[in-house]
Structure 1
Amino acid sequence: MGFTRQARDVGVAVAILALTALVVARIGGESGETIVGTARAADGDTLTLDGHRIRLVGIDTPEMTQVCKRDGADWHCGAAARSRLAELLRAGPLTCRTKGTDKYDRWLARCETADGDLGQRMVREGLAVAYGGYENEEQFARAERKGLWGSEFDMPQQWRRMNGRPQEVVHEAEAGMIGSVLEALGLN
């Protein structure tokens, strides 16, 4: 019985030291990486930068084949979202700050050009919905009936479900055990 208690005490001490090291590391540095370069749009919320697939965190856009209705006519809203992101990417060098990866091993990141945050622009222009961020921008787009909000559309998540497509989860970076511990402590 003494050995079990001693082993437990050692385990607790190791856990406390590891947690302390994690907290110090988190306070001492930024999470993720910063990548700068020229990117191309894969769809309305995913881009390729320096050989890495990056999913813009906090937004969700219609799928490339998704069709919405605007003024009674078909509007290829998924293709429109991709086209707008491609246009925004042509504004010059892009800076992305990664926040982990998603279940598809894409980096989750907030990205900006000299003209501002891409996710914020996409939601504010009504070509993306808020998905774990940018709720104020979505309220603006709704009020102004911009993009999707001036059309009849299925939310991207609902459209994927109805069309047998893989579901996206609200963007929380999968940073493994360390990320889970930091999240539980409110440090991530």
Structure 2
Amino acid sequence: MISSRSLAILVLILFYSQVNAQCGQNASQVGSTCYCNSGYYGTNDSNCQQCQNNTYSLQGVSNTGPQVTQFSACSYCQVGYYVTTPGTSAALPGCLQCPSSSTTINPLSQPGSISSCVCIDQHGAALSSLNNSCQCNIGYYGTPQASTTDPGRCIPCPANYTSPIGAVNSTQCTQQLDSSILTSFIQLTIISILL
């Protein structure tokens, strides 16, 4: 015999699946309204089409409605791409893929540069026009992670040791000069000059 609680859960599941079944393909319900899913666009939820050329849309009134076009909806670059040229009412944004082992955190709509991409490894150096590949940061060595499941990683140098950006093995870690020794050396040098 089915308990009243189990029956209530079954009714809710059936109601939920019936409500969601009313949305078109590549669409889902937000509140009481069906919208094209993120990454899609359409004049209504029954004709949702995927954004092209690595572009992306956000779910809601900006990607579903009678006035929506591919250009108005797909104004973002998907995660893993940065914007080289902004979208217009007649053109999609230019989206360029981030270098290997890096990504963007969110879909982007504003023009940027390679510095919009971040290395997946938290100890990777910041990307720039001078440093356009993921390398281990100062004080670390190794191979940066290419993905969240990749075993590669940047390893910290031992205490009181440092390394340049891009060090790949521990032999590139060099001992740091103790600041108190350096200060004493400078003071002795000044005293010997004055004498």
The reply to whether TM is greater than 0.5 is: no
Question: TM-score band (shorter)?
Answer: under 0.3
Using CA pairs under 8 Å that are at least 6 residues apart, name the structure with larger relative contact order, 1 or 2. Answer: 1
- TM (norm. structure 1) is 0.24
- TM (norm. structure 2) is 0.23
